């Protein structure tokens, strides 16, 4: 199977998973365990970030859809904002390899900035590090608190296998 065919299959699976998650249908997370594995492993190893947290962030951000686009302009698997993507040297935020590498690099920067505190790094990834600094911790934003819970739930799942 070519890389293009694998990408097409991954997009189809991620769209179905995204639909299910958005509409409250049960989702078999097992189907996501092997998606984009070589890209995730390479970026995780290169930047020293746990593979299971990377998978959890991708699941929470885009349900593994490399063509995902948010209403705020975030793009790709790790939902990079245009300014962040540009600062990290990303030319095409929808390219899974560029997106994951930059997203993992950025998340590692946040982990370093917040002394490896996972909750603060996740809050900064979701709401921006300025908000985390301004609030002296996880901002009291319902969406950010939900995001942290969701990523940690997925993280627990991906750690198990």
| pLDDT of amino acid 115 | 98
Name the domain count of the chain.
1
CATH of the domain at 44: 1.10.530.10
> Reduced to 3 states, what is the DSSP secondary structure of residue 114?
coil
- Tens of pLDDT, residue by residue over 101-155, are 999 999 999 999 999 999 999 999 999 999 999 999 999 999 999 999 999 999 9
> Does the residue 119 lie in any domain?
no
Is 76:92 a contact under the CB 8 Å cutoff?
no
Active-site residues, by number, are: 61
| pLDDT of amino acid 22 | 61
CA pair distance 121, 71, nearest whole angstrom: 22
Residue that is written with structure tokens 């997925």 in the block: 154
pTM beyond 0.85: the answer is no
CA pair distance 130, 96, nearest whole angstrom: 27
- Tens of pLDDT, residue by residue over 118-131, are 999 999 999 999 99
How wide is the angle at C-alpha 53 spanned by C-alphas 109 and 63, nearest 5°?
Answer: 110
Structural domain that includes position 29: 3-113
- Tens of pLDDT, residue by residue over 30-83, are 666 667 899 999 999 999 999 999 999 999 999 888 889 999 999 999 999 999
> Does the residue 13 lie in any domain?
yes
What are residue 80's DSSP bridge partners?
75
Q: What share of the chain is helix, strand, coil (3-state, %, to 5)?
A: 65, 0, 30
């Amino acid at each position: 199977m070519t890389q293009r065919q694998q990408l097409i299959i991954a997009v189809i699976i991620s769209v179905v998973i995204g639909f299910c998650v958005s509409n409250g249908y049960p989702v078999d997370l097992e189907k996501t365990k092997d998606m984009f594995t070589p890209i995730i492993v390479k970026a995780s190893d290169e930047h020293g970030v746990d593979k299971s947290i990377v998978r959890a962030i991708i699941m929470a951000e885009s349900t593994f859809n490399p063509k995902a686009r948010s209403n705020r302009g975030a793009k790709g698997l790790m939902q990079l904002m245009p300014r962040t993507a540009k600062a990290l040297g990303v030319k095409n935020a929808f390219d899974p390899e560029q997106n994951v590498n930059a997203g993992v690099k950025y998340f590692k920067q946040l982990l370093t900035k917040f002394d490896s505190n996972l909750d603060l790094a996740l809050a900064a990834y979701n709401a921006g590090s300025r908000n985390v600094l301004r609030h002296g911790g996880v901002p009291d934003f319902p969406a950010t608190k939900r995001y942290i819970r969701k990523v940690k739930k997925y993280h627990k799942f991906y750690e198990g296998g």
